Chain A
Amino acid sequence: MIRIFDLATKDLLQIVRDKRSLVFLIAMPIVFTLFMGFAYRGDGAEEPIDARIALGWVNEDGDGALSTQLYDLLSNSDSVKLVVLSADSVEESLRKGDVAGVLVVPAGYSQAMTASPLRLTLVADLNSTNGQSLFQLLRAPLTQLASSVEIARLGAETVGKAGDVTELDAAFAAAAQAWTEVDSAALIHVEMAVAEEAGSWYGDNPYNQASPGILVMFAILGLVSSAQILVSERKLRTLQRMITTSLRPWQIVGGHLLAMFAIVFFQIVLLVIFGQLLLGVDYARQPLAILMISIAFGLWIASMGLLIGTIAKDDTQVVLASLMAMFLFSAMGGTWFPIETTSGAFAAISKAMPSAWAMNGYQNILIRGLGVGSAWQPIAILLAFALGFFALAVWRFRRMELV
């Protein structure tokens, strides 16, 4: 056992002496965590700012009843800010980013009460999140407007004055007024299903999502340093010389695995402490669960590092394999984007990813507010993957000896 520790210590000293490793292990994940949290939180301004989305308004209907009503509805909205534009300034305003979209009311729109169905055009860049939001935000006011028109038509027909403009106007006005007293959203209460109340959950602290996500991603990348040592030993024939000593092969494997695990675990601990102390991520609410998840996750990463070290022939192959592993497991593990937004096939495959289970374990504690019990399943799955990768690595290592 002492020899395993000796070998692991040797590996760790080699890694620590290389300053570049420290940049990748420590500095980059911290910078990325701050970046991702900042990106999802915004500029963090304490003072209230106008968060409404700017919507351009081009009205070719003059002072028609429908366009006037729609203008009033949108002017009173908490979500959109109307910016009156002329028809020829639409492209320019969108290009400059003055507005996220432009609603164009065509000429004759208000005649829809007696004629053809209502139809509006929204010119928007649906590549932007604001552009996508505009469509959803316009649904309610448009529905109210169209509903008032339909009620006016129904009313006019019922009183036997179908098509009568005066009757239609009166009914429309009454319906529009009645809609101002409706607030369906007030009949719905949305609540986060958290096991216990805490100061800030996901909605308040975006680092609850960013911190574990970056931790998982960079832990995978962190095995580059340790896997490179195994490759260097093989190239320099140091490994072959070690085999001629009284060191048993399992001790060599164990020593390298221990070093890899120590590096990854050290990085995880550092990022957890950073998240806890500086980002307000409450890892400490269930320290045992976080510790066990981190150990299981570290073992899986170390096993994978060992496998890469036994397969790669030189440093560049280690970097390439590690990068591809990082990208694959990060993307499919839900560290880049929520799995709920992906296709069914992608989501199904992600369930088989150990990184997804690591994220699940951390999210259960940090975001869902669950206890130690919620960590058992992710831990068991991560340990199973660790065992699988380790078995593969040992098999590869035995084949390596014979070369």
Chain B
Amino acid sequence: MKIIAVATKDLIRFTRSLFLIGMVLVVPLLLTGLIYFAFGSMAGGGTSMIAIKVGVVNHDALPAESPLDAPLGTSIHDMFFDESVKSWIAAGDYADEPAARAALNAQEIGVAVIIPKTFSEDYLAGKTGTVITILQDPTLTIGPTVVRDMVTALLDGVAGGGIANKVIGERLAANGQNFEAALIPAVFEQYAAWYADFQRALFHTPEKAALVVISPAGSGEAAKPMQGMMGLVFAGQLIFFSFFTGAYAMNSILQESEEGTLARMFTTPTNRTAILSGKFLAVFFIVMIQGVVLIAAGRILFGIHWGQPVSVMLSLAGQMTASVGLAVLLVSFIKTSKQAGFVFGGALTMLGMLSGLFSTNINMPAAFAALGNFTPQGWVLKAWKLTLASQPAGEILLPFIVLVAMGLVMFIIGANMFRKRFA
């Protein structure tokens, strides 16, 4: 009962700390909220991403006798001004390359497409030296890649039309038939219609697409990358702030020691083990409450699917054990509460970094990724990744066992140091 009383007292004290409430709940929700605001609208399948600003310089002209109705440059130009891309491409015409470069430098556009005068002529003649130049703002990555892929896809379409013509001509000849010139436009048109439908289906109509993507654990359901990303980001926040909360809450032992109230408690009939156990229990509860609240908030506010309930419980339990254990160990090394800022801010941030909490969506080098095997945060992240991937409880057992073991070892070492200090 004394242990519960001490724990209750500490819990009440924690809830009166605006700083703790801020760090425990507000800051992780704020951070995830910012990420959700940045990317979350795309999680629901919306395409509200900022429009790519493209400048087009088209000097392409058809040679005197050409099988094409219009220069290839016109097709490329028109592609960027088409109604179907208006929501994500904002295109404008520029007279020449210097004008486009000036617009790029002034950040009026992010990408410029420069189509030279003899592009169609040289293309039809089979010459490869004439190229379309894509000038890009060097700080951008997605926009220029999208533009390059669009131009490549269009050129592939043109190439396919040429191949269709060639192959049909060969097959007619092989079958002893003549290839009428009048056939050429019809072949181009049929092929072009098929090609446009194919590309549209590939990117916009999964039920007709030639390639459908499913997640590994999904039973045929389509994968939702943005939701997955939000889950990982939030898991990273949950883990980081769970360890921070544990350490900060445990700091109350040092604060009470400095204020003199701990010494007074030791003079009471309540034995020291009970007092310290009460304090550890309070930290355990605060970390648990934080975890439960944030998981619920993640589900309600950001639509994160945490996975199977038992897996979630195992991951949360492992996280709590490890964070309390590390908190006890860290604070046992600290002499005064003033040192706590350095230890919590510096050590926990470093551990978080090495564990990959701040790079959940970045492809880290293998050597770096292996570092997470040596940190409790790394194992917690493993557990949550498996949980978010809807893996069954059996898959979470190994990380859970490792976390409990790590937590217990750290707890025992830290508790022994406290016992010696307050003996």
A31 within 8 A of B: yes
B248 vs chain A, min Cβ distance (A): 10
- Are A39 and B364 within 8 A (Cβ)? yes
CA distance A117 to B212 in the complex (A): 13
Interface residues of A in 317-337 (CB under 8 A from B): 317, 319-320, 323-324, 327-328, 331-332, 337
A256 within 8 A of B: no
- Are B167 and A368 within 8 A (Cβ)? no
B266 within 8 A of A: no
A252 within 8 A of B: no
- Contact mask B151-181 → A, CB, 8 Å, 1/0? 1110110011001101110111011010000
CA distance A9 to B288 in the complex (A): 46
Closest to B50 in A: A347
Q: Report which of B38, B156, B339 forms a contact with A342, defined as CB distance below 8 A.
A: B38
- Contact mask B22-66 → A, CB, 8 Å, 1/0? 110011001100110111111000001111100000000000000
- Are A39 and B212 within 8 A (Cβ)? no
Residues of chain A with a CB closer than 8 A to B167's CB: 151-152, 155, 171, 174-175, 178
CA distance A123 to B389 in the complex (A): 13
CA distance A345 to B143 in the complex (A): 17
B409 within 8 A of A: no
A51 vs chain B, min Cβ distance (A): 11
CA distance A82 to B229 in the complex (A): 26
B373 within 8 A of A: no
* A188 touching B148 in the complex, CB below 8 Å, given contacts A143-B156, A338-B139, A368-B105: yes
Q: Report which of A43, A154, A187 forms a contact with B365, defined as CB distance below 8 A.
A: A43
- Contact mask A100-142 → B, CB, 8 Å, 1/0? 0000000000000000011111111111111110011011101
- Are A174 and B216 within 8 A (Cβ)? no
B350 within 8 A of A: yes
Residues of chain A with a CB closer than 8 A to B225's CB: 126-127, 131-132
- Are A344 and B19 within 8 A (Cβ)? no
Closest to B218 in A: A123
Residues of chain A with a CB closer than 8 A to B175's CB: 159, 161, 167
Residues of chain A with a CB closer than 8 A to B48's CB: 343-345
A88 within 8 A of B: no
A90 vs chain B, min Cβ distance (A): 8
- Are B342 and A20 within 8 A (Cβ)? yes
Q: Report which of B105, B166, B195, B211 forms a contact with A193, defined as CB distance below 8 A.
A: B105
A48 within 8 A of B: no
The number of inter-chain residue pairs (CB within 8 angstroms) is: 300
- Are A23 and B131 within 8 A (Cβ)? no
Closest to A337 in B: B38
Interface residues of B in 136-153 (CB under 8 A from A): 136-144, 148-149, 151-153
B183 within 8 A of A: yes
Interface of chain B: mostly helix, strand, loop or mixed: helix
Residues of chain B with a CB closer than 8 A to A147's CB: 156, 160, 163, 195, 198
Closest to A139 in B: B202
CA distance A143 to B160 in the complex (A): 10
- Are B214 and A346 within 8 A (Cβ)? no
- Are B50 and A343 within 8 A (Cβ)? yes
B107 vs chain A, min Cβ distance (A): 8
Closest to B388 in A: A127
- Are B50 and A175 within 8 A (Cβ)? no
A107 vs chain B, min Cβ distance (A): 17
- Are B112 and A38 within 8 A (Cβ)? no
Residues of chain A with a CB closer than 8 A to B422's CB: none
Residues of chain A with a CB closer than 8 A to B215's CB: 123-126
A17 vs chain B, min Cβ distance (A): 12
- Are A151 and B168 within 8 A (Cβ)? yes
CA distance A156 to B167 in the complex (A): 10
Which of B276-284, B290-298, B355-363 binds A? B355-363
Residues of chain B with a CB closer than 8 A to A123's CB: 213-216
- Are A327 and B31 within 8 A (Cβ)? yes
- Are A344 and B51 within 8 A (Cβ)? yes
- Contact mask A240-269 → B, CB, 8 Å, 1/0? 000000000000000000000000000000
B110 within 8 A of A: yes
Residues of chain B with a CB closer than 8 A to A340's CB: 50, 52, 110, 140-143
Which of B1-9, B186-194, B322-330 binds A? B186-194
- Are A182 and B159 within 8 A (Cβ)? yes
Q: Report which of B156, B171, B346, B350 forms a contact with A167, defined as CB distance below 8 A.
A: B171
- Are B137 and A187 within 8 A (Cβ)? no
B349 within 8 A of A: yes
How many chain A residues touch B (CB < 8 A): the figure is 104
- Are B216 and A35 within 8 A (Cβ)? no
Interface residues of B in 329-344 (CB under 8 A from A): 338-339, 341-342
B305 vs chain A, min Cβ distance (A): 12
Interface residues of B in 248-303 (CB under 8 A from A): none
B200 vs chain A, min Cβ distance (A): 12
- Are B194 and A122 within 8 A (Cβ)? no
* A327 touching B30 in the complex, CB below 8 Å, given contacts A122-B214, A192-B136: yes
B238 within 8 A of A: no
* A158 touching B168 in the complex, CB below 8 Å, given contacts A126-B228, A343-B39: yes
Interface residues of B in 108-147 (CB under 8 A from A): 110, 112, 123, 128, 130-144
Q: Report which of A119, A127, A171, A185 forms a contact with B232, defined as CB distance below 8 A.
A: A127
Residues of chain B with a CB closer than 8 A to A122's CB: 211-214
- Are B160 and A187 within 8 A (Cβ)? no
Residues of chain B with a CB closer than 8 A to A369's CB: 138
CA distance A144 to B216 in the complex (A): 27
- Are B183 and A189 within 8 A (Cβ)? no
CA distance A188 to B174 in the complex (A): 35
Q: Report which of A90, A159, A175, A201 forms a contact with B177, defined as CB distance below 8 A.
A: A159
- Contact mask A366-383 → B, CB, 8 Å, 1/0? 011110001000000000
B199 within 8 A of A: yes
- Are A190 and B134 within 8 A (Cβ)? yes
- Are A42 and B365 within 8 A (Cβ)? yes
B17 within 8 A of A: yes
B99 within 8 A of A: no
Closest to A136 in B: B149
A191 within 8 A of B: yes
Q: Please, could you name 8 A-B residue pairs with CB atoms under 8 Å apart, sorted by A?
A: A121-B213, A143-B198, A147-B198, A150-B194, A171-B171, A178-B163, A332-B34, A368-B137
17 further A-B pairs in the complex, CB-CB below 8 A; given A131-B225, A187-B128, A328-B30 = A19-B342, A28-B345, A28-B346, A31-B350, A120-B211, A143-B199, A147-B160, A147-B198, A150-B191, A151-B163, A171-B168, A316-B18, A320-B19, A327-B31, A338-B140, A338-B142, A343-B39
Give the B-binding residues of A (Cβ under 8 A).
19-20, 23-24, 27-28, 31-32, 35, 38-40, 42-43, 90-91, 94-95, 117-132, 135-136, 138-140, 142-144, 146-147, 150-152, 154-156, 158-159, 161, 167, 170-171, 174-175, 178-179, 182, 184-195, 201-203, 209, 316-317, 319-320, 323-324, 327-328, 331-332, 337-347, 363, 367-370, 374
In the A-B complex, the 4 residue pairs with the smallest Cβ-Cβ separation, listed nearest first, are A316-B19, A126-B225, A127-B228, A184-B155
